[in-house]
Structure formats: C-alpha cells, structure tokens
Amino acid sequence: MADKRQLFSLIPKVDDILNEKKIIDILKDYDRDFVLKHVRQNIENIRKQIVKLKDNEIETFKIEEDMVISNILKSVDEEKAMNLRRVVNATGVVLHTNLGRALINDNLKNSIWDAVSNYSNLEYDIETGKRGSRYSHVEEVLSQLTGAESAMVVNNNAAAVLLVLSTMAKNKEVIVSRGQLVEIGGAFRVPEVMEQGGALLKEVGTTNKTHVWDYEKAIGEETGLLLKVHTSNYKVLGFTKEVSIEELVEIGDKYKLPVIEDIGSGTLVDFSKYGITKEPTVQESIKKGIDVVTFSGDKLLGGPQAGIIVGKKEYIDLMKKNPLTRAIRIDKLTLAALEGTLRTYLTSKNPDKEIPTLRMLTYTKEEISEKAYKLHDILRNSLVDFNIEKEEGHSQVGGGSMPTEYLKTTLIKVSHKEKNASYIEKKMRENNIPVIGRISEENILLDVRTVKEDEFNIIKTCLLEIEKMAQGGK
C-alpha cells in the first residue's frame, strides 16, 4: 500500500522538468527565472496536495508528468496575460462604467495604432518645423462641431472642471444652485472638486427650486463666475424650478460675470429624434451664450475617457497657460482615439451607425429583435442541458447618463437543467473571454443590445464549456 513518503518521491525534480521539450521550447521566449518560478510553484502545489490527503485518498492520487507540464504552461500563460482584458458585455448597460464605458470604432484601430506605435507630430508643427501644441489636433474639429471659438482637452471631466475653476475663479466665489451639487461617482462631489480648484462655493436656492433672484442676491465683489451643473445622473421631479441657460447668461451679462456649464455626459446628438429622452447638446449651450462648457469624452460622445473644454478663446487660452494643465493633460493614445471619434462626427453621413455607443443606443426594435433571434437560434441548436428562451426587457444607458431612460430590448433567458444561476454566472466570468450577464429569478439574462454579433460564438463556446464541466461534475 502506497504512503505519502512514496508519493513525495514521485514528484518530478526541477532539473528534470526544465529538460522537458515543452519547457525548453518556452524558455526560448521567456526569461528562465520567470519559468523557474512557475516550475517551483507547481511542484510546491503538489506537495501541499499530498500533505492534505486522507488515508483513503493516497492510493488513488496520481502524479502524471504530462499534467504537471500542462499546469506549468497554463500558469505561465495566465501570468503573461493582461489584467486589463476584453469581456463580453451582455448586461444591456451601454455605458457600463465597470466595463469600460464607450467603445471605440473598430475602423479607427489602424489610424490610432499607427500614431502611437510610431513617432508622431504630437507637439510638433510640421508646417513651421517648430514646437506645436497637442491641443491643436482636436481644437479645430471641436470648434467646427460645437460652434465654440476654442477648445482643449484634459484627462477627464472632473479634471476639466478643476482646471476651469482653478483658472477663472481661484480664491473667488462661485455661485451654483444647491440642487446641482451632485456626486459624480466614486464618492467625488462637485463641492470637493470646487474646493480643490481653489474656488469658494456659494450655494443658492433650495434642492428643488432656484430662482433668478437667488443668483442676483448672492452676487458680490468676491464673485468670480456663475456655474451651472447639468444633473445628468439623477432627476428632481414635481414641485421644481430651475434657472434656464438663457436667464443665467442674461445675469452674467448684466453683472459682467462669465457663465460656466458642466454638461456632464456631453452629447453632440439630439437623441429625441430616436425616441429617447432629450439631453442638452453642447452646441445648444454654446449657441445660448455659455462662456465655457465642459463634458466627458467616454459617455454619450462615444469616445475615450477625456475631459473636453470648449468656449471663448480668451478663457481657453488662460487655461492652456495654467501650470495645472501639465498634470492633467491628455496622452497621445487617448488623443488619437478622441480625434478619430470627432472626425467621424464631422465627416460621416451616419455617425450613429459608425460610433458604437450611438449605434447601441439607437437600435430599432426590429434590429434588436433580429439580433436576439440569431443568438437564440445559435444557442438553442448547440446546447443540450440549457433552456434557452426569449423575452422582452429593458436596457439602460448607464455611466450616469439618462437615469430615467429604459430602452426596450429583447433578452435571451438562459437556465441550466441542474446547475443554479450563481454557478453559471461564476463560470461565465471565469471564461477565457469573460461573459458578463445579469441574474434574474434563477435565470441568466443576456441583452443583445450590448453584444456584438461576432461575440455570439464566444457566448456559445462559453456555455458549451460550462455544459461539459457540469456533466463532468465540476
């Protein structure tokens, strides 16, 4: 009868493993110490398994060299893989903050990679042969799209607001409606951003009602500017009153004060023509006389994470000279993705078909239904132990945008004949390309709105693997 000492003696030696052909092959591509670490870790794992064996398990415990080698290769591949990686978003939340928000158009990949994998004219003026500005690559196109005199970009919208306040209202009072002192996510709040910018917050009005006279009573010698924050991530309904942009601009003109608007999600498209709740567009704010508008790049715009600032040239020029600008400036990879997205708006006949965020938000009922039928048939024809059904449901915009908007969609409802939804959901997350769905009443719900058609086979393969594991008792 075998005992643990005999099992320990069967563990392969490090040198023997390093002389195996498959290990020799990977040593051609990987650092020896890196591979050696994984060899030792796997050997140590076997030792720990043996230690934990009960007497009745010793006889059946096998140490197979092929399996040892396979485990080493697997652990090497796992450590080599990026932590930040692709997932399939089947949640139906278009701007899913945890899953990376807006997607960049596939057609831009070559242009973006060409700009960042080679030297570029990031801060070089090819025409004059002298130093240029990184903002020049998007300033003109932003001005054309929004009607603003000038523009610049930083690394996110909170940074954009911070830069505006630091430049235009440091040590001065900024008047803002109490109902607009929002939390913008991750526990970051507008008052705290204002404080970091050196501005002195002066609240006016109440949570649900603010009047013109509230602003006028608050204006004094220390007032630096008037700030309007678009409450894009919540709505106050019922007995409410808000000062309009036109009224705020009129107050600013009367008292010679600049008016700033943080429009939040920021859109260049009137979504009401698609039957979706209208959000204020950047163009409208500029046209109505707002001096400076800030908004996000990776929300309703459909670009990369960025903070975009558009408005009057005199204020934008001051911001470019602010030392803070260097700390929050946009990098070349993001800049390339943003320029590509903006030029799609400028040149395309149908940007709503080319920009993934706009495409997903504006699918027709028929288009969604057709996608659902395709995925339904693929899964139903491939899986044996899963129940596959279709049902009507709702998608969400996400990313703090349009919080009351629910988009009609068709869901694929998946359930296993033996395993519960928590088991299936966990195994989907553990897939080589994780598939992220929703759980509802012991069913997995897959919303095709946010799933690309070339990802249907990824979902099928994932569920087939889960089916095999369930059959094997894992």
What structural domains does the chain harbor?
4-78 (no CATH), 88-97+360-471 (3.90.1150.180), 107-354 (3.40.640.10)
Q: In angstroms, what CA-CA distances link 301 with 358, 398, 456?
A: 8, 13, 26
pLDDT, one tens digit for every residue, the chain (474 residues) = 468 888 888 889 999 999 999 999 999 999 999 999 999 999 999 999 998 888 888 888 888 888 899 999 999 988 888 889 999 999 999 999 999 999 999 999 999 999 999 999 999 999 999 999 999 999 999 999 999 999 999 999 989 999 999 999 988 999 988 876 666 555 556 677 777 777 888 888 777 788 888 888 889 999 999 999 877 555 555 556 777 899 999 999 999 999 999 998 889 999 888 888 888 899 999 999 999 999 999 999 999 999 999 999 999 999 999 999 999 999 999 999 999 999 999 999 999 999 999 999 999 999 999 999 999 999 999 999 999 999 999 999 987 777 778 899 999 999 999 999 999 999 999 998 999 999 998 999 999 999 999 999 999 999 999 999 888 765
**Model confidence, pTM:** 0.87
Helix, strand or coil for residue 298? Answer: coil
Length of the chain: 474
* Residue of 335, 368, 365 lying closest to 449 (CA atoms): 368
End-to-end CA distance of the chain, in Å? 29
Q: In angstroms, what CA-CA distances link 450 with 87, 285, 355, 464?
A: 11, 30, 13, 21
DSSP letters spanning 228-265: EE--TT----SS-B---HHHHHHHHHHHT--EEEEEET
Secondary element (H or E) of residue 88: strand 88-89
Model pLDDT, residue 56: 84
Q: In angstroms, what CA-CA distances link 387 with 56, 383, 421?
A: 39, 8, 12
Round the CA-based radius of gyration of the chain to a whole number and report it.
28
Amino acid at 417: K
Model pLDDT, residue 406: 87
Q: In angstroms, what CA-CA distances link 451 with 89, 120, 145, 368?
A: 6, 34, 30, 11
Paired residues of 188 in beta bridges = 185
Amino acid at 185: G
CB atoms within 10 A of CB 466: 25
Residue 88 class from Cβ within 10 Å (0-12 exposed, 13-18 middle, 19+ buried)? buried
Task: Please say whether the beta carbons of 335 and 151 come within 8 A.
Answer: no
Model pLDDT, residue 6: 85
Task: Please say whether the beta carbons of 432 and 74 come within 8 A.
Answer: no
User: Beta strands 173-177 and 200-204: pairing type?
Assistant: parallel
- Label residues 93-131 b or e (16+ Cβ within 10 Å = b): bbbbeebbbbbbbeebeeebeebbeeeeeeeeeeeeeee
Task: List CB contacts of 427: < 8 A, sequence separation 6 or more.
Answer: 462, 465, 466, 469
Model pLDDT, residue 470: 85
Helix, strand or coil for residue 48? Answer: helix
Residue 308 class from Cβ within 10 Å (0-12 exposed, 13-18 middle, 19+ buried)? buried
Q: How far apart are CA 372 and CA 341, in angstroms?
A: 28
User: Beta strands 259-264 and 223-229: pairing type?
Assistant: parallel
Which two three-digit tokens encode residue 446?
């897959």
Secondary element (H or E) of residue 70: helix 65-80
Q: Which long-range contacts (CB under 8 A, 24 or more apart) does 345-348 make?
A: 345/145, 345/268, 346/141, 346/144, 346/145
CA angle at residue 386 from 382 to 388, to 5 degrees? 80
